[in-house]
Amino acid sequence: MLHIGYFLGYPYDDVHEFIVQHGENYKVFGAWKVYTNVGQALATFESYRACTQRLTHIYQHGHSLAKLAQATR
C-alpha cells in the first residue's frame, strides 16, 4: 500500500506501523506519528523546529523567498 508518508520522507518503519496500527498506539507525535526510533525522531523534530524558526526570522526581516531558499543550503 502506498502512503503519502513514504513520499514525504518519513521513516519507512513509522509509515508501515502507522498503516498497521491505523494511526493508533504511537510513542511520540510530532511532524509524524512515531512508532520506532524515538530518539532519532525527536532530534529530527528539533531540527525542523530550528529550521522553521530561522526561516521565519529571515522572512520577518523582509527577505524574499529566494533568500529563504538560499538559507536552506
The residue ranges of every structural domain in the chain are: 4-71
Averaged pLDDT, 57-70:
87
Residue 71 has pLDDT above 80, yes or no: no
24-35 pLDDT, tens digit each: 999 999 999 999
Dihedral class, residue 67 (left if φ above 0, else alpha if ψ from -120 to 50, else beta): alpha
Residue 22 confidence (pLDDT): 97
- pLDDT computed for residue 72 by the predictor: 67
- Average pLDDT (38-58) is 95
Round the average pLDDT of the chain to a whole number and report it: 92
Q: Do residues 4 and 23 touch, judged by C-beta distance below 8 A?
A: no
Task: Please give the model's pTM, rounded to 2 decimal places.
Answer: 0.82
